[in-house]
Structures are given as structure tokens and as C-alpha cells.
Amino acid sequence: MNIEDLIKVGIGSAFLAKEKLQEFIEEAKKRGELTQQEAQKLIEDLKNESEEKLQELKKMIEEEVKKQLNELGVATKEDIEKLSKKIEELENLIKNK
């Protein structure tokens, strides 16, 4: 299983869990265990937490991709920009001599 498959599984699980949780909240409202306001706050809290977890997941993926590219010896955009800047500086030195 590659990283893309893991991401798809994670996202799919998150959506399934979200749906089940919303069903649970709706049932609790119907039974009178939660008020509309409590249910709304709970949903909002869960939404915020989901967003935070998604950002954490994105950061982890980015870090892992960078790590893998580094291990493979692939130049990053930053590496290429640094080299371009050095080349430009050397060209300027040669022109000014």
C-alpha cells in the first residue's frame, strides 16, 4: 500500500466517522439528550478538530515526501533557486571583470 492509498483510506474513514457521528448527534437530539444549541456546538467543535487534524495530516505528508525526495537525491525547488542565484552572481562577477 502506497502513501496515496493510505491517504484515501484515512480520508474515507474520516468521512464515514463524520457521517456516523452526525447520525448519533441527530438521534441524541431526537431523544432529548442534546439541545439544538448543544448539538450545534458539538458539530462545530468536531468540524474545527477535523480541520486541525487535516492540517496535521497534510504537514506529515509534506514532511514525508520531502524526506523521501531527499533520500532519493532529488533536487528541491529551493535547491534549484539557490543554484540559480549562485549562477546569476557568478555571471555578474564575470561581466564586471
Specify which of 23-27, 31-35, 76-80, 91-95 reaches the highest per-range mean pLDDT: 91-95
Q: What's the pLDDT at 88?
A: 96
Residue among 69, 54, 68, 70 at smallest CA distance from 7: 54
pLDDT, average across residues 87-93 = 95
Q: Are 39 and 25 in contact (CB under 8 A)?
A: yes
In the predicted model, what is the mean pLDDT of the chain? 80
